Copies of this chain bind each other. A is one copy, B any other.
Amino acid sequence: MKIIHTITEMQQYSKEQQRKGKIIGIVPTMGYLHDGHLSLVDTARKNGADCVVVTIFVNPIQFAPNEDFDKYPRDLQRDCTLLEAKNVDAVFAPSVKEMYVEEPTCLVVENKLSRGLCAKTRPTHFQGVTTVVAKLFNAVLPDIAVFGQKDAQQARVLKRMVRDLNFPIRLVISPLIREKDGLALSSRNKYLSAEERENALVLSRSLKEAKEALEAGNTSIDSAIETIKNNIAAKGGKVDYVECVDSETLEDVRTKTGREIMFVLAAYFGSTRLIDNILFTY
């Protein structure tokens, strides 16, 4: 497995793969990998990638000054061991200095899908994400890009970026992976105390119950949202948002339409902000 730290070397590696006719798949991550990330590698392979590049970069410009950029967990050596075991072809792990040689003055900005949901609390987050992913795309030159359903809004914003900027890339959204007890896998779960972690199970449980109640015709979307909010509060969580949106446009959905919808939420347990979602046709 090749470990690459500079953009120039990454581009050279990818151009070589292209000349060999390889299909390059990119799996962008911030490292501190868990089984959710590793499942993205499988998704890349299943979608035809015969050269999988995992990028590991904790991107400063998607964190606000008050957020957890400094304490975000990092362990490149452990990550590389996990990726080697998955037969990943290359890891691209640039330094912050390599990615942002000088103060960047050019950003990629999405103005619609990136406005609501997480953006209400994290207003500059998604322009950090779109910008860094555009940079990673231009460094890795992939044919396929895999993002997790866990970051539901991010995946849709990036899909829009690929469409609007004509990146020659097929973006695949890979299913959300949970612990056996339902907690959505996240590198941030390590911030949780044992008690917070136990309480946070309310997120996945409430989402599942909302889906089941709607499918059984036992509730309305509005009531389901209220129930989820109340459940979270009852477990000492602080709700950031709970919404029901169209899975493509991220526009609010309040009635049965036969389209794919998502319940999406963010909530704090202690000082840790967790996100979760459930996707189904309703």
Contact = CB atoms under 8 A, between A and B. Distances in A.
A138 interface: yes
A160 interface: yes
Which of A108, A164, A166 has most B Cβ within 10 Å?
A166
Which of A18, A110, A130, A164 has most B Cβ within 10 Å?
A164
Nearest to A105: B112
A211 to B, nearest CB: 29
In the complex, the count of this chain's copies comes to: 2
Contacts of A135: 164-166
Contact of A105 (B105, B139, B160): B160
A166 B108 contact: no
Contact of A130 (B102, B106, B113, B141): B106
A109 B110 contact: no
Given A19-B19, A19-B21, A164 B109 contact: no
Interface of A: 7, 11, 15, 18-19, 21, 101-102, 104-113, 130-131, 134-135, 138-139, 141, 160-161, 163-168
Given A105-B110, A131-B165, A139-B168, 4 more contacts: A105-B112, A105-B164, A106-B164, A108-B134
13 contacts: A7-B166, A15-B18, A101-B163, A104-B164, A105-B160, A105-B164, A106-B109, A106-B110, A107-B109, A108-B108, A108-B109, A135-B164, A138-B167
